[in-house]
Amino acid sequence: MSLREAIDWFLGSPLRILIILILAVILQQISTRAVTRALSKVAEADFMPGEKTSITRQRERARTAQSVLKSTSKALIGLVAGGMILGELGVDLGPLVASAGVVGFAVGLGAQTIVRDVFSGIIMLVEDQYGVGDEVEVLDVKGKVETVGLRITTLRDRQGTLWYLRNGEILKVGNRSQKSRG
């Protein structure tokens, strides 16, 4: 292979793949920075002035939303870049997309509880039902909230036991830390 042939080969698919990878990394950094900046402003903003507002609770909610948005952007950028790279390598994406649809449907059926937990976690965060440090009664557990995630909430009871509660299973919550609105 001559130098000219090697340069021509490199200027084809390998260069386009390299450009795709570089653009994906740049897009990921931009999206991470944008999410961090936007949600940092949300965490510090005083949306509901008054006695009930807790800046630490608002920060915790913003941190949770930030991690979800960062993960989602990484997955989407990676998926698009991966598809573009496979296309450059000559892989027929039609059967791959069809297979992914069938597999996605099967995984969706199997992951119903996870989806329910995540949706319940999102609703719980939006409604501000409880936050880190609150004294709550959930199901048959009474204790202090240690972490609030989209899928799992952890409570530590008075005996020191750490309870992991799936958000989709939490049907009612008693919060001793929230003051009455009257």
Q: What is the mean pLDDT of the chain?
A: 83
pLDDT tens-digit readout, 68-118: 788 889 989 998 999 899 888 888 888 877 887 788 777 777 788 888 888
Closest CA relative to residue 134, chosen from 148, 119, 152: 148
Hey, which CATH number is domain 3-99, 1.10.287, 1.10.10, 3.40.462, 1.10.530?
1.10.287
Confidence check: pLDDT of 169 > 50: yes
Residues of CATH 2.30.30.60 domain(s) within the chain?
Answer: 111-182
Residues of CATH 1.10.287 domain(s) within the chain?
Answer: 3-99
* Dihedral sign of CA atoms 81, 82, 88, 91 in order: negative
Single-letter residue type at 151? R
CB-based contact 73:32 (threshold 8 Å) = yes
CA 118 – CA 141 distance, rounded (Å): 21
In this prediction, residue 159 has a pLDDT band, given cuts at 50, 70 and 90, of very high
Fold entry, domain 111-182: SH3 type barrels. (2.30.30)
CB-based contact 174:136 (threshold 8 Å) = yes
CB-based contact 84:77 (threshold 8 Å) = no
CA 35 – CA 27 distance, rounded (Å): 12
CA 58 – CA 81 distance, rounded (Å): 34
Q: Is the pTM of this model over 0.75?
A: no
CA 70 – CA 63 distance, rounded (Å): 10
Closest CA relative to residue 181, chosen from 51, 54, 61, 57: 51
